[in-house]
Every structure is written in structure tokens, then in C-alpha cells.
Structure 1
Amino acid sequence: MLVRLTYLGAIRIFAWLFLMSRSSAAKNAEILILRHELAVLRRQITAPKPDWPDRALLAVLTRLISQALRERRIVSPRTLLTWHQHLVKQKWTQPPSTGRPPLPEEIRGLIIRLGVENPRWGFGRVHGESRRLGHKVSPATVRRVLRAVGLGPAPRRYPVRMEVRARTIHNLGVTAHPTAA
């Protein structure tokens, strides 16, 4: 892109040097012809689409003419500012932050395996065991992974009641399914 811009600039410089050697009458006639052609083209074309080197050259040359002439160009000052904003946006973009990295499948599989093979363990126990095995994972992550596969919290322990007067302990829930074998 830089090579193309340099080439375009060099061509324009040579064209200006050639133009300086011409007579004033020839220059005025050419200006009138070009203005008329431009008026005809403006009637036919709704929106020109210059590429990047054309935009850069137009932006530089527009600075050299008066304010009254700037308003009649195919490129308005607002368009020049928009081009500049786009160039700055392309130059100074940063990739969007993705947040925390995803949990590796190996650790996810371990958490699910611990939860399935030990149905009486809760989230805290699965978290503790995974930490003991050397994996850094938070309790909230363990809870989220187990809930995602349909494993809720560990079942409640069987309720135990103590009769204070008789000083006896009654185990009220011996089995979860009393009619089962």
C-alpha cells in the first residue's frame, strides 16, 4: 500500500512539473473542460468510491485549496474526517478480551467422574478432592459443571433425632426407599 501511494505521489509530481511549463491559456481551457466533465459525471454517478491512495491524495490536496472550493469537491470535509476516523480505528484496534479461559476438558471430565462415582459427595467434597489431585478450580466452577450434567447437591444425611429425657438417639431414615428390597 505504501509503494502504491509513493508511486501515485511521484506520478502527480511529474504531472505538476509538466503543468508548470504550459501556458496560462492552455491551463484555463483545461480547467474549464475538467469542470464541465465533472459536472456531467456528478449528474450520472450518485456516490464515487475512491480507494485508499485516492483518499489520501484527496485529503492532502484538499488542504491546499480555499474553503469555498473545498465545499464543492466530491469529498466533503465530513467525509475526510470519517476516513481519518476509520484509519485510526484500523490502526489502534485491540482484540476484545475474552474473559476467563475455558475449563480444560480433562478437568471437566474429572469433576464429572468424581460426581458420578461418588453420589454422596457434594460440590465442596468434589472440589476438595480435585484440589488434592493438584487441579486449581473454584467451588463455583465445580458446582456449575455438576449442575450442567444434571448432578444436583449431595443428598441430605439421614435425619437423626435425640430424645433428651430418655437419652436415646433415633435414626428416622434408614433407607430412601422403604419398600425396596
Structure 2
Amino acid sequence: MKFVLQPWQLILIILASWVNRQQQEVIEYLRTENAVLKEKFGKNRISLTDEQRRRLAVKGKLLGHKQLEQVETLFTPDTILRWHRQLVANKWDYSDRKEKRTGRPRIRQVIVDLTVKFAKENPTWGYDRISGALSNIGYNICDSTISNILKAHGIEPAPDRKRTGSWETFLKAHWDVMASIDFTTVEVWTKSGLTTFYLLFVMELKTRRVDFAGCTTNPNEAWMKTIALELTNHEDGFLKDKRYIIMDRDATFSKAYRDFLRNEGVKPVRLPARSPNLKDYASCCTFSVRSDTTSRSWLRSFSLTPICFIGRSSP
């Protein structure tokens, strides 16, 4: 059986060949031009503005390290990609805001550490007793400050502290019915510029099974309620047989979101502030995902609506 080209197919092939040849000629010219500029400047440093670096970084990121090497650019691929990493880092740089903060100064870390230590080692000590112990070593702290420190670290007042077990004991007692939830973010260049995508994951602590709950650029309350509805589905929801779900104090996990979970029989367990060691399993998972999601093409494979289980992390 012979295959006969139609006239329009032959014209299309000729046109594609001509366009490809034209593109190759343009690329060859640009390579030659770059080589001439390199010879002219030699080892002299080429000074660029921040805007020029940004333009090169955005275009260079789309090409990738391998194609940048083939183009023979004026700057090394490592330099161009380093500029792009700096763009992402600058987006999350809040150092200027921290310097402008006003109000009551922070409590010294040594006082916080001693207060927590006294409370854990002496379950019967109240705020006055802890305050007196601190005064004996030169730190005069009021009862309300001690109360705030202990609340921030999830430590109950003296009457309840003696009856409350450790975090490790709590986890072991509810291992089979406990899950964890956490966010991670990836940066993606879109038509509107550098965009942050929020990826939500849930983990079953006993098996380390991880579900990707969904991703969005705006994790508002309505979106979170939709996620909660999917997770607590009585037929195949991830939290169907769970009684507790661990979460940090991210404002995205709002009171309305937590109340919805309680009404479905899942009790939210909010961790104390600045306690990443209490959710290390979920943190390791999100760190691994964030390390792997470095290209725009990877993110395209995700839907903006919640999807079912896609992966599993080993213990």
C-alpha cells in the first residue's frame, strides 16, 4: 500500500522546513553575536541593573540549565539561575517589616526556657511558685507573663498539668485514629508574574500514607470548607475513620474550618506556637514535595480541585 502526499501536506512540510531553517539562522546569529561580545569584554565585568537581571532570570528559568549552555550566553547558566533563586527569596524577605515593629519587647529566651523547664519538672507548681523561683535567680516576671509562656508551649495550669500526659503518650494512645494536615508552597512564573501556589497535604500517622488534598493560589475560607467536606466524606474521605487531626496555628485553619471538622466527629489538635518538632512527619513530607516541585510543568499536572490519594511516604 503506497502513501501519497496530498498537495496541501507537501506545502505544509516545505513551510515548516523553511521556518525551522529561519529559526536556526537566527539562533546562529545570536550565538555569533554573543561570542563577539565575549571577545570584546574579555574578563571585564558587565554591569546590569536589577530589572535587566530579572528579565534574564525569568527567560533563563524557562530554558533551563542545559539549553542555556547551548545558547552560549554572556553569563553562565549557574549565574542566571542564581538570579532567579534570588528573585524567589526576595519575595519572602520580610526583614524590613521586622525592623519596623513596635510595642512590647520580646521575652528573653533564657526566661522562656527556664519557665518551661520549671513547669515540666514540677507539675504542682503554680504561677506564683514559678515566679518566685525565677526571682531567686534574678528574673522578676509577673504571673500573666508566665501564663502566656506556658499557654504558648501547650502546658496546662498546675491543677491540670499533673493529670495531663506528655505529647508522646498522647500520640501513642491515639495512633490509629490520628492524622496530620499541613501546607507547603511552590513558586511558579505565570502570565501575571511570580505566583505562589499553596499545596495542602494530609497524612495518616500510623502508616505515613500521604494524600494530596488540593492546590490553589488563594486558600480562603470557602476553599478550605470545600476541602474539609471532601476529607470527611463518609464513603471514601481521608478522615472517615479518624478522631483527631493535628494542625499548626496557620490562620488558614480558621475557627469555621475547625468547627466544621468537629461537627463531622474529627477533633482538631492545634499545636503550640513555634513547635515544628511536634509535627516532624508532616514537615518532612512537605519539605520533600517542595524540593521536587521546581518546574512549572510539574505543577500543571495538578488540578485546582481536591483529588484522591496520589502517593505514599515510607516510615
The structure, 1 or 2, with the larger RCO (C-alpha pairs under 8 Å, 6+ apart) is 2
In our comparison, the structure showing a higher alpha carbon Rg is: 1
In the superposition, the TM-score normalised over structure 1's length comes to: 0.32
TM-score after normalising by structure 2: 0.21
